[in-house]
Structure 1
Amino acid sequence: MTNQPKPEPLYGAGLWHFGQFRDRYATDGYGPPVSTLEAIDRAGDVGDLSVVDINYPFNPAELDIAAVEDALKANGLRAIALTPEIYTRTFCRGGFTNPDPEVRRQAIELVSDAADLTRRLGGDYVKLWPGQDGWDYPFQADYKALWAMSIDAVRELAQRHPDLRFAIEYKPREPRNRMTFSSAARTLLAIEEMDVPNVGILLDFGHSLYGLESPAEAAQMIMARDRLYAIDVNDNFRGWDDDMVVGSVHLVETLEFFHALTQADWQGVWQLDQFPFRENAVEAARAGIEMMRTIWRALQVLDTEALAEAQARQDALAAQRIAKRALLSAQTEGPERGY
């Protein structure tokens, strides 16, 4: 027996997908600088995106919010979230965990400003990625102090903006060698200590892989506590956060991840977080959406009863056959989408 047909999900992307990429080798960038308005136009060229997550401050920083609203409207897009940049050079020793209380306050106020703009844009959440919060060397920091500062900062923001949701994106490392919010379990524990109703998790599929989690299991753990606010999807070789096109390496685990979401009737956006350093950004987004659409079709033909029976027996080979049969049939079955 297969699933009952369900509406196709909405697709989204982080606006950085369409920006300029740099690393420690090509410090001048893999292409010219891209403004926020130019990135919005590129996102609009994809054709299948409904929402974007926008970096804040905008580029250029003095860009008026009205211009952003106009660009989104012209491209048929909605801002699902803002991501305040609390991980830049200003916060290289930490945002929420910076040893300087004035810098910590600066990070909190930057997020608060982003929250106000998220409200104006009608976004669903403010994304928190405190990439500089953590440590690099043994004995460098008091772990209890870092933990307390992280929890206190997010709690303050949640209480200051009770009408908004804040989604923490955890990651095991980079740019810090060890990050405070490094796994699903640690982040859930922190949220429990915050004791506020409007803080949850953005689960980045690649971060979960990179952290040696099972993304499907992590999603189930988070959803069981009603804290899965959003997802970002990409792929990697598990040794680094490569942010490759969806399904490039871990196709079966990607299917399992989305199966876990659909079994729990999770209604969120299927959102890209890819870094096409050397590829055309618009074409890479289309490739990611094409793969997600293939996975969606596979879930429509997946024999869920047979899969449940195989899982009850913990029959690995039978479960794999059922999952792979759905994936292969999705290449030829389902709605015609021009692929």
Structure 2
Amino acid sequence: MSDHKRIDMQVPVFGAGIWHFGQYVDRYATDGYGPPVNTLEAINLAGKVEDLSVVDLTYPFDPVGLSVADVTGVLKMNGLRAVAVTPQIYTRRFSRGAFTNPDADARRAAIELVSRSAEAARELGCDYVKLWPGQDGWDYPFQADHRQLWKFSVDAVRELAETFPDLRFAIEYKPREPRNAMVFSSVARTLLAIEEMGVPNVGILLDFGHSLYGGESPADAARLAISRNRLFAIDVNDNYRGWDDDMVVGSMHPIETFEFFYALVEAGWQGVWQLDQFPFREDSVQAATDGIRVMKRIHRAVCALDRQALQAAQRSQDALAAQRIIQNALYGPYEG
């Protein structure tokens, strides 16, 4: 097949957040959907998923006191690698904020927790430390001085990046939840903050679902981050666009999911295709298996896409021609 027909036949590395295999809680089922699952048990579940190679681990590990050596042993036993560590700076302890908490001691505690996470990530050989400061923001007008929240956030991440220059930090932005408004709420705001930090080892983790319900085009957001060499990682899932539902990838927006992955492959981005799904009522191993199978199908479609024809349609901004081309790749030729 000619070059314009295939972009890259290399199969991506597939990963998942370890929380995919955990216990889920909401305000209606406060005792959880299913039994508690500790870190080692979750890793064992992840090891049952075909084609899953890496996991993002939350820190501190569960139970508290579980060593990096213990985690490493179970990862190896399951043929897995830790791609990232995510410090839990979004829990009840930081309900008034992590980096933006009005209490200076709480802000320092958040930085110290991330520092311990970074040390664990270094020992595990991770690609990055993920920062999701979900409690950093505000709920009401006039609640906070926006200039102060911005400065707290920028200064904290800059300090961490400078303290660990050998590690990469990926900020996962999100429009809202648990706060009604978050400091790192969009790709543009996060890139602006990173520019202000002035450090080379801070980038973005682009969550497809966050981008969707934040009113962005995930493909456009990815290209914007890639253009500044700041797309460090991705999480994929799907939703109804009104909330962060974290459904199985491709279940709601297959065309936009296809466009997102096309943007990554076309740009030569080489990161992990990572699941961030919340199977509240579904079997977690099956949900991960299904999500990876969807991504593999999308990858095959991206590689089969008539790139030359698509680029011609895009140059003329011919929407219908572009749709026919991508539908042929994704669903097969129309036969009448």
The residue correspondences of 1:1-339 to structure 2 (distance < 5 A) are: 1-329=4-332
Q: 2:175 and 2:298 mapped to 1: Cα distance?
A: 27
Unpaired runs of 5+ residues, structure 2, are none
Residue deviations 1:35-81, cap 9 Å, x none? 10000000000021110000001110111211100000000000000
Q: 1:263 and 1:325 mapped to 2: Cα distance?
A: 18
User: Do the aligned residues in 1 keep the contact of 2:131 with 2:169 (CA within 8 Å)?
Assistant: yes
Q: Secondary structure at the match of 2:247?
A: coil
Q: Secondary structure at the match of 1:81?
A: strand
Q: TM-score, normalised by structure 2?
A: 0.97
Residue deviations 1:160-217, cap 9 Å, x none? 0000000000000000000000000000000000000000000000000010100000
Q: 2:319 and 2:10 mapped to 1: Cα distance?
A: 30
Q: 1:152 and 1:272 mapped to 2: Cα distance?
A: 30
Q: 1:116 and 1:329 mapped to 2: Cα distance?
A: 48
Instruction: Name the aligned partner's letter for residue 66 of structure 2.
Output: L
User: Do the aligned residues in 1 keep the contact of 2:7 with 2:302 (CA within 8 Å)?
Assistant: no
Instruction: Name the aligned partner's letter for residue 298 of structure 1.
Output: A
Q: 1:130 and 1:56 mapped to 2: Cα distance?
A: 14
Q: CA deviation at 1:19?
A: 0.2
CA RMSD across the alignment: 0.8
Q: CA deviation at 1:300?
A: 1.3
Q: 2:80 and 2:174 mapped to 1: Cα distance?
A: 28
Q: 1:60 and 1:256 mapped to 2: Cα distance?
A: 40
User: Do the aligned residues in 1 keep the contact of 2:208 with 2:236 (CA within 8 Å)?
Assistant: yes
Over 3 Å counting, the alpha-carbon distance change for 1:5 and 1:171 in structure 2 is closer
Q: Secondary structure at the match of 1:50?
A: strand
User: Do the aligned residues in 1 keep the contact of 2:100 with 2:137 (CA within 8 Å)?
Assistant: yes
Q: 1:11 and 1:36 mapped to 2: Cα distance?
A: 19
User: Do the aligned residues in 2 keep the contact of 1:232 with 1:270 (CA within 8 Å)?
Assistant: yes
Q: 2:217 and 2:319 mapped to 1: Cα distance?
A: 15
Instruction: Name the aligned partner's letter for residue 93 of structure 1.
Output: R
Q: Secondary structure at the match of 2:129?
A: strand
What is the aligned length?
A: 330
User: Do the aligned residues in 1 keep the contact of 2:7 with 2:266 (CA within 8 Å)?
Assistant: no
Q: 1:169 and 1:61 mapped to 2: Cα distance?
A: 24
| Identity between Structure 1 and Structure 2 (%) | 69
Q: 1:68 and 1:167 mapped to 2: Cα distance?
A: 22
User: Do the aligned residues in 2 keep the contact of 1:298 with 1:329 (CA within 8 Å)?
Assistant: no
Q: 2:175 and 2:7 mapped to 1: Cα distance?
A: 37
User: Do the aligned residues in 2 keep the contact of 1:56 with 1:82 (CA within 8 Å)?
Assistant: yes
Q: Secondary structure at the match of 2:178?
A: coil
Q: CA deviation at 1:4?
A: 4.3
Instruction: Name the aligned partner's letter for residue 34 of structure 1.
Output: V
Q: 1:48 and 1:24 mapped to 2: Cα distance?
A: 34
Q: 2:295 and 2:7 mapped to 1: Cα distance?
A: 18
Q: 2:54 and 2:107 mapped to 1: Cα distance?
A: 30
Unpaired runs of 5+ residues, structure 1, are 331-339
